[in-house]
Structure 1
Amino acid sequence: MKYVLRLLYGGGLLFAGVGHFRNEKGFVSIMPSFIPFKRFFVQVTGIIEVLYGLMLLTGKGVDIVRKTLPGFLYAVLPANVNMAVNPQPINGKKLPAWALWTRLPLQWVLIALAKRLK
């Protein structure tokens, strides 16, 4: 089961990380106004997610991911809150409010699961 969790998490992070570059404008638009250098942070978080995803999928560096991923997920939480409070279209599509608000408690589940990666 832990192997499956690691593969699912790795695939999800890799997919999300690539999304930062395929839809950079969308990710920039969800960032809170108080964060400077939005494009830079979107690119950095995209690189981190790609690296985490590859590490989990290959099984190399899983300990590093398990120790640092919760902090990363806390760091990106303001963008998720901002997206729920100030919804912006992504790729021209407006996400339903229920999905944006459901994402917030899901973040805590992802943090808890990150601590269990092996």
Structure 2
Amino acid sequence: MRPAAPRENLTRRLFRLLLALIYLIAGIAHIKSPAGFLQITPDWVPLPEQVILLTGVAEIAGAIGLLIPRARYAAGIGLALYALCVYPANINHALNNIAIGGVTASWLYHGPRLAFQPVFIWWALIAGGVINWPFGKKQGPVCPK
């Protein structure tokens, strides 16, 4: 008989559900309306249209993975790496003041967005049960495999 899984922290569950919703919405936006994402994609990214499509697919897959206990750990790692990989597009957007839909954003938008990217990485790791900080000591994956 399999031992009972440790009781999951309500805060972690809410973090996971909110992050899954954010990534699901973002993934749909990448697929449905790629123009703005293409504008901020750095010039050195090969095949930008395909990359934007694949980032949307990755966001949706990660969101779904966070909701499946057996996939949660891998989804957390995948979304953390994803957030790291898209950071150059956010930096490009900010430093080059790229207008999306004819509108440029101020540093009141770019500053917090750039500062929050490491939080998204941490959030994905927390939501996936990869890390426990600040919720307690690491004892292995939070959900059973």
18-27 vs 89-98, greater mean Cα deviation: 89-98
Displacement after TM superposition at 1:89 (Å): 2.9
Q: Tell me the TM-score normalised to structure 2 length.
A: 0.74
Q: Tell me the TM-score normalised to structure 1 length.
A: 0.89
Displacement after TM superposition at 1:62 (Å): 0.8
For these two proteins, the number of residue pairs brought into alignment is 118
Displacement after TM superposition at 1:59 (Å): 4.6
What pairs up with 1:1-118 in 2 under 5 angstroms?
Answer: 1-59=11-69, 61-117=71-127, 118=129
Higher Cα radius of gyration: 2
Amino acid at match of 1:53: A
SS in 1 for 2:91: helix
89-98 vs 106-115, greater mean Cα deviation: 89-98
Structure 1: give runs of 5+ residues left out of the alignment. none
Report which of the two has the higher share of helix. 1
Q: Kindly indicate whether the alpha-carbon contact (under 8 Å) linking 1:23 and 1:91 is maintained by their aligned counterparts in 2.
A: no
6-15 vs 94-103, greater mean Cα deviation: 94-103
Identity %: 28
CA distance in 2, matches of 1:50, 1:92: 28
Q: In 2 relative to 1, CA 60–87 (structure 1 residues): closer, same or farther, beyond 3 Å?
A: farther
CA distance in 1, matches of 2:92, 2:111: 10
Amino acid at match of 1:90: I
Structure 2: give runs of 5+ residues left out of the alignment. 1-10, 130-145
The CA RMSD over aligned residues, in Å, is 1.6
Q: Kindly indicate whether the alpha-carbon contact (under 8 Å) linking 2:31 and 2:53 is maintained by their aligned counterparts in 1.
A: yes
